[in-house]
Structure 1
C-alpha cells in the first residue's frame, strides 16, 4: 500500500471514530450533564418514622472505628450501630468494647476460619444478627440497614432525606444510594516533600470532583441505581425478599459487586439515588492505592455481566430500565475497550512519522490536522467539562481557570483509571478472585507507626 493510501485509511479511521464520539458526546450532554445541572433538592421526610441500623464492616480498623462510632451515636442518637469485626489483628475489638455500656452499640464478631471470607459474608452475619435481635414480629418495612465504611461520616440530615416520600417514604423503594463526598478535599497531606503533598492534594481534589459530578450525574440519569458504594441504605424487608433460606442478601464476591442491586430490581423493588445528602469518605493521596481500589471496583462491576439474562428476563423492569442497568454493568468493559481503540490513530500516526516524518508533516499541514484536533478535543471534553460543572455546583469559590485545570487533571486521572481495568480482568484470570480492602491514609499512618515501633 502506498503512503497516500495509508494516510487515507488513517484519516478514514479517525473521521469514523470522531463522528461516533461526537454523537456520543451530544447524547452525554443531553442525558447526563444537563439533568444534573437542572436537579433541585426535594422535600425531606421524618427519620423518626423508621428504625435505622448502621452496619460497619471492620477488619483492622482500630485507628478509625472509634471516631466513627462516636460520630454516629452523637449525630443519630436513636439509631443502632453494629460493628462487624472480621477477626481483626489490631485493637478494633478493644475499641468497640469501650462502648459496651451503650445499648445502641453492638459488636458482631467473626472468627477464622469462618472470617475474612469477604465483606458480603460479614454483612450477611450482621443481617442475621439484626434479625434475631429485632425478633420475629418486628416491622421489617420500617427498618433500614445503612452500610458505612469504618471511616465514613454520613451527613447529619441523611436519615431525614432518605425518609422522604420519593425514597423510603415510598413503600416500593427497597434501597437508596446517597451522594459521596471526599472529606479531605483541599487538605494538604502532612509530612514528606512539599511536591508530594501538592500532588496528593490534587489527586484527592479530583476524586471529589469525580464523585460529586460525573458519578452523581450518571447515577441520576439512570433512574435506577445499584447501591454498591459507601452510604448504601436498604430496607430490611427488601433484604428479606432476596436473602433466601440461608439468610444471605449479599452474595457478591466483593463489596463493589452489583449483585444486591440487580436482585432487588429484578425482584420488583425500586432503588433510588439522591444528591440532597451525602456521606463523607477519605480520599487517597496515593495513586498506587487508588488504582488498586479502582481495579477492585471495576472487577466487581465486570462480574455483574453474569446478571444480564436475569435483568432482561425480569417482568419488573421496563426495556429502558433493563438497558440502563445493562449499560452500567458494561461500563468497565467499555473503558477497557477505550484503552485499545482510542490510541489507535495516534499510534499509527506516530509509526508513520518515525519512518517518513516529512510526508506526515506535509499531510497534516495539508488539512488532516483538523480531524486529529477534533478527535483529541472530543476525547477530552467529556472529562474536562466536569471541571466547570464542579465549580458551578460544588465549589463556587474556585476560579474558572483553576476549575478548567481540574477538568484536565480529571481527564488524566480517568485515563489512569481506565488502565486499572486491566488488572481487574487479569486478577481473576490468575485465580486471585478475592480482594483485600484498600488502606486509607489514616490507617496507613497507623500501620507505619506500628512498624516503626
Structure 2
C-alpha cells in the first residue's frame, strides 16, 4: 500500500533493478501512526498496565535484615535507622496527587498550619503539576512513591531505577525542587522488612534515598469510618510516629474528615507536627546501618532538563490523546445510534409503503428503453450481460460502446447476432466519454446504464423504469447484488451490498438525497442527464457525480428494490482494494466538487441541505472515525478490563446483527450468509478503513489517482437466474 515500485531503465546486458520509492504522504501517515501507537503505550505504562501489582504474599524470612532495622525506627537512611522524637508526628500521604482529594487535604492542613509529607506517584505529578506546586508552595515535603505504583520487587533493577528517576524528573519539572525521600508501594513498617525488600532498601540507600516506612497505619484505605481512622492514627503513650494516610486511590472523604478531628486531638495531648525534611535534625538515631558502595543517581536533573520535560510532556500528550479518543468514541457512538434509528424508522417505512396494496408510481411505463453498456476489455462478461438485457420483458435497444478494447469485446457481442443490439466503437476516452457517446446515439428518452460485468433479471428493466411515471423523477437506482458469492471476500461484499448500499438507499430516498445511482444498474431521463451537464470526467465516481448533479438540477432520484442485477465483485484483496480506493476517492471528489450545493436555493437546495451533511457524516466522517472502536477494543483487551471490553464489543456486534437481519429481510435475502458477519467485522471492515484512510491521505496531500481496471472472469451470473434468449437476427 505505502510503496510504489518502479523499474529503472538499464542497459540490455544488465538485469532490471527494482527501486522502491516512498511517497511523502505515506511517510507522514506512517509517522502519525507510529506516534499514536507510542502515545497509547505510554498511556498504558502511566496507568501501570505493564507492571506487577501487589502479589499478596506473606513476608519472607528476615535472616539478612539487620536486627537494628527490624527493631529500629521507620526511617532508614544510608547511615542509619531513625525514629521520630517523642510527641512528634509526621503525617504522610501516599498515592497522590489527586485532583479532588489532595486539594481538600491541603485545605485542612493549611487551616491548622500543619506541615506534612506527600509521597507522590510520578505519573500523577505529570498529570497534575499545579497540585504538586501547591504542595511545595505551602511548605510541605514531597517524596518519591515510584512512577506507576508497581510492586517493585517484581521488577528488574533497570525498571526500578527508571521508576525512581522518572518520578524525580516529574517532580523537578513541576516544582523546580528535588527530593531524597522514598517510600516503596505496598510497604508497611520497617519491622516487616524481609530479605527481598531489605535488598531493595539497600539499593535505594546506595542511590542516595532515605527510605520512609510507617509505624502508625491509619488504615484509611479500607474506609473503616472516621472514628476508626482517628484511633488508628493516634500514637500510643506519647511516642513519636510516622503516620500513614492516603490522598488518592479512591474515595478519601473519611480521611479528610478524620484530619479535622485528628489534628486538634493530638495537639491537645501535646503533639507537634513536622515534615520529614524539617525533622531531619531532630530525628532519634536508633542504630547504624552498614554502608554499601553508592550508585550513580539516574535522575540528577534540574527543572529545565529536557529529560524531565520529555517525561511530563509524553504523559500529558498521551492523556490528551486518550481524552480525544474518548470524545471521538462518543461521537462515533452518537452517529452510529442516529444512523441505526434512522435506518429502522425510515427504511422500514419505505419498504412498507412500497408493498402496500394498490401503491404505484402512476400509469404503467411501457415505452421502449435504450440500454447503454460501456465496455473496455470486458470480453469475459459482456456476453452474459447482453444476453440478459435482450431476454427481459421490456422492449429495449442495447448500445454497447466499445472503448477501444484490445481483447475482442466488440467481436464477442457481434458474434451473438442479437436483434436490437448495436456495437459502437469509439476512440479510447474513458467510461464517462463512452457513456456520453452511448446516450448521444440512443434512440429513446429513457436510458438505462448497465456495467459490462453485470447480469440483469428478466423483469429488472421494466420495474426500474416505472418511477418515470412521475415527471419529477430524473433517475432511478436499481438493486445491485453480488453474483459470484463463492469466496469469503465475495460473501463479505454481498453482506455489504445489502446492508451498506441497499438499506442506505431506502433511508436516503426518504430524505430525498440518494447520493449514487449505481453504474451497474441505473435509469435516467435523457433530458435530466443533459440538464445536469452529462457524465463528466471530473471525478473517478462518475455515477455519484452525475447523481448529485441531477439533484442540484432539481430532479428527484428514487430507489427500486425489486429491480435486481447481479454484478461480479472483486475476488481478491488486491482487486477489492483498487475498486474501493477508486470509489472512496471519487466520492470525496464528488462531495468537494458539489460543496456549493449547501447554498443552492429552493427545491434543488434540498440535497445540499440534507444530502451533503448526511453523506459527509455517514460515508466519510463515521467510517474514518469508526476504526477507533476497534483500536480501543484491542487496547482494552490488552490493558483494560477484558470483561467490560468484550461486553462493549458484543453490544456493538449485536447492533450490527440486528441491522443486518433488518436489511436482509427487507431485501428478501436468505439469512444464511450472515454467519460470516463477525468475521467481516474483524477482517473486512479493517480493510475498508485502510482504503478510506488511504483515499483521504491521497486527497488531502493533493495526490492523483487514475482509473483502476479490474480483472473480470465472467462470474456475475453465478447466483442469478439464467436468462432465456430466443430472439436472434439473421
Shift of 1:421: 1.7
Equivalent position of 1:108 in the other structure: 424
1:25 to 2:336 alignment: yes
CA distance in 2, matches of 1:209, 1:294: 15
Query: 1:181 maps to which residue?
Result: 481
5+ long unaligned stretches in structure 2: 1-45, 47-121, 128-314, 717-730
Shift, 1:416, TM fit: 1.1
Q: Find 1:388's aligned residue among 646, 655, 661.
A: 661
Deviations 1:236-270 (A, max 9, x none): 12112223xxxx44344324452211211111111
Matches within 5 A, 1:219-368: 219-223=505-509, 224-225=513-514, 226-243=516-533, 248-256=534-542, 258-304=544-590, 305-317=592-604, 322-329=609-616, 331-334=618-621, 337-338=624-625, 341-342=628-629, 345=632, 364=640
In proportion to residue count, which structure has more helix?
1
Aligned to 2:84: none
Q: How many residues align?
A: 393
Deviations 1:317-371 (A, max 9, x none): 3557622234325655325632675466568779xx7xxxxxx5xxx45xx963x
2:469 aligned with 1:169, yes or no?
A: yes
1:419 to 671, 690, 702: 690
CA distance in 2, matches of 1:440, 1:413: 21
Structure 1 residues 309 and 10: CA distance shift in structure 2, 3 A: closer
Contact 1:52 1:80 in 2 (8 A): yes
Does the 8 Å CA contact 1:118/1:434 hold for their aligned counterparts? Answer: no
The higher-RCO structure (CA 8 Å, 6+ apart) is 1
Distance across 1 between alignment mates of 2:696 and 2:670: 40
Deviation at 1:439, TM superposition (A): 1.9
1:32 aligns to what SS in structure 2?
A: helix
The counterpart of 2:489, out of the listed 203, 224, 227, is 203
- Per the alignment, do residues 218 and 394 of structure 1 end up closer, same or farther by CA in structure 2, a change over 3 Å counting? closer
CA-CA distance at 1:68 after TM superposition: 1.7
Q: Which has the larger radius of gyration?
A: 2
Does the Cα contact within 8 Å between 1:120 and 1:255 map onto a contact in 2? no
The answer to whether the 8 A contact 1:180-1:211 is kept is yes
Q: Structure 1 residues 206, 389: closer, same or farther in 2, change over 3 A?
A: farther
- In structure 1, distance between residues paired with 2:550 and 2:414: 35
- TM-score, scaled to structure 1: 0.75
- 2:457 matched residue in structure 1: 155
Q: Secondary structure at the match of 1:441?
A: coil
CA RMSD in angstroms comes to: 3.4
Give the deviation of 1:32 after TM superposition: 1.4
Change (3 A) 1:426 1:60: farther
Matches of 2:714 and 2:366 in 1, distance apart? 36
**Cα gap change, 1:390 to 1:267, in 2 (>3 Å):** closer
Deviations 1:209-236 (A, max 9, x none): 1112231121111122131431111111
**1:203 to 1:163, Cα distance in 2 relative to 1, 3 A:** same
Alignment of 1:430-441 (within 5 A): 431-441=703-713
Residue number among 120, 124, 146 corresponding to 2:432 in the alignment: 120
CA distance in 2, matches of 1:344, 1:334: 17
CA, structure 1 residues 329+177, in 2 after alignment: closer, same or farther (shift >3 Å)? farther
Instruction: Note closer, same or farther for the CA distance 1:152–1:373 as it changes in structure 2 (3 Å cut).
Output: same
Distance 2:655 2:519 in 1: 23
Contact 2:401 2:425 in 1 (8 A): yes
Relative to the length of structure 2, the TM-score reads 0.48
Q: What is the Cα deviation at residue 126 of structure 1?
A: 1.3
SS at match of 2:707: coil
**1:95 has 2:412 as partner:** yes
In 2, Cα distance between equivalents of 1:83 and 1:172: 29
Deviates more, 1:300-309 or 1:337-346: 337-346
1:82 aligns with 2:368: no
Cα gap change, 1:320/1:85 in structure 2, threshold over 3 Å: closer, same or farther? closer
Give the gaps of 5 or more residues in structure 1. 135-139, 189-199, 354-359, 445-453
